[in-house]
Chain A
Amino acid sequence: MKQTIRQLDAILRGDATRPELLKEGQLGIPIASVAGALVALGAFYGLCMGAFGVFRIDPESGRQAHDAYMQLLASAIKTPLLFFLTLLITFPSLYVFNALVGSRLSMVSVLRLLVASLAVMLAVLASFGPIVVFFSVSTDSYPFMKLLNVAAGTLAGLFGLAFLLRTLQRLLGPDPVVRQRARQDVAEPTPPTDANAPSVDDTPAAPVNSGPLERVEGLSSRKARRVFEIWTLVFGLVGAQMSWVMRPFLGSPGMPFTWFRDRQSNFFLEVLKALQNLLGA
């Protein structure tokens, strides 16, 4: 337990992804113990989402929704599942293309990287949990709650994927082209700078304790990075649609509880619909 929390903390602080550590292309993140943290964080956010049904009083009957507690349980189980399934679906293609472009990341390294990114994502999401509960207590509007959760999920996803791309940059090391250019820079004497212009040397050295999102310049391996960039897009799209397929998480008022609903429509259409509902167009 303590070990898991320490691991999670190291990922969030960036201790686990320090540039010095990653130069060798190794990522020392224990998958099993971080996965435990993922389940806990996801379940917590699931509970926060399910709280909507618990606090909502049906205006007609004046009572709580029928199976509010079942929804709570279902959301707590389904939220971690949503992330794991999305990973499961998108991981193989990522690994294959990563190998195809000749990146030096092994399969385990890629998996470690993704698990760490999910940890960032879920930690951000879980930190929004109290706010979601607060709005569940104080609002009746179903479209508003849907959009609030979509917004929280989007923000969390952006943080997680930014972490992924930055860590990748550190892992892959310098691009051959960049390296060559750097060597040239060293060879040529730098032209004298304008006396008034701030000298480059005056800029303070990078803080020792840089965060996990900080950009480390000069490191890139173009093709592999492109693969990951495209993959983040795919992950986002699959994850969003996955959340729709695995609904209900909030529990639509007036609909009986089920674990899953019929396949129909899609995430993006429904977000538009919720927006329209809210704006009353």
Chain B
Amino acid sequence: MAVATALHRLGMDADHVLRADGTSLRLRRLLLMIACFGMVYGSVMGSFAGVTGERFLQVTYSAIKAPMLLVVTFALSVPSFYVINTLLGLRDDFAEALRAVVAAQAGLTVILGSLAPLTAWWYACTGDYQAAIVFNALMFAVASVGAQSILRAHYRRLIARRPAHRWTLVGWLVIYAFVGVQMAWLLRPFIGAPGASPQFLRADAIGNAYIELLRILRLALFG
């Protein structure tokens, strides 16, 4: 019974977050939402090469890493966000701004969670690893667009009150994306290549997403 109540409450919270209807949820509950829905998508994401036996490890790892990706990126970006908000004279609104960015991340996981069945279906349809990567990237892109709209809905109220919030919003997106891309790179593998044995982090994970990106670009442009 307690479980049913908790699930019901989680669902109600998720609904509020998606609508961005101004219901202010406690940070703790938003974080719980990120953990739950993030784990749902993560576990599906990690099920590419199967879920039985040793492969179950990859499912578990990915389930842990998906929410971790968001929470750690968030933690690293918050200090700059705080200082920039203060400098632009927006400290009084900081609690609300913080709730807005956390709510957007919670929204991201809720949307991802709703896309999880699609990913599972895609995995069932094709065994192509590259295609799986592309499909997941697509799902993340869709979820990001949705999360952006939640963030903007929250920020519309803030910007109406003080236009300077526009700049902190841009600053947040730049910093969060900059850290998040590298974090995602570092936390690979999420999908788990079929041949490789499950692992939490890749042994060769130390590396830089941006340098890799440059390398790929160079290869594409100059051969």
Which chain A residues have a beta carbon within 8 Å of chain B's beta carbons?
9, 12-14, 120, 123-124, 126-131, 134-135, 138-141, 144, 159, 163, 207, 209-214, 278-280
Contact = CB atoms under 8 A, between A and B. Distances in A.
B186 A138 contact: yes
Given A134-B183, A135-B182, 13 more contacts: A9-B86, A128-B79, A129-B79, A134-B182, A139-B206, A139-B207, A144-B208, A159-B87, A207-B162, A211-B88, A213-B89, A278-B214, A279-B218
B87 A128 contact: no
Given A211-B89, A211-B164, A123 B211 contact: no
Contact of A163 (B87, B90, B205): B87
Contacts, number: 87
Contacts of A130: 75-76, 79
B19 interface: no
A131 B89 contact: no
Contact of B208 (A131, A140, A212): A140
B83 A123 contact: yes
Interface string B61-103: 0000000000000011101101110111111100000000000
Nearest to B164: A211
8 residue pairs, one from A and one from B, having the closest CB atoms: A211-B89, A139-B208, A127-B83, A127-B79, A127-B80, A12-B86, A138-B186, A211-B88
B158 interface: no
B29 to A, nearest CB: 25
Contacts of A214: 89, 164
Contact of B214 (A12, A13, A163, A280): A280
B95 to A, nearest CB: 15
20 contacts: A12-B86, A13-B91, A120-B87, A127-B83, A129-B79, A131-B80, A131-B175, A135-B182, A138-B186, A138-B206, A139-B206, A139-B208, A159-B87, A163-B87, A209-B92, A211-B87, A211-B89, A213-B87, A213-B89, A280-B218
B182 A138 contact: yes
A52 to B, nearest CB: 12
Contact of B87 (A12, A135, A144): A12
B83 A131 contact: no
Contact of B211 (A209, A211, A278): A278
Contacts of A279: 214, 218
Contacts of B89: 13-14, 207, 209-214
Interface string B174-204: 0100110011011000000000000000000
Nearest to A151: B178
Nearest to A163: B87
B33 to A, nearest CB: 24
A209 B208 CA distance: 42
Interface string B122-164: 0000000000000000000000000000000000000000101
A131 B90 contact: no
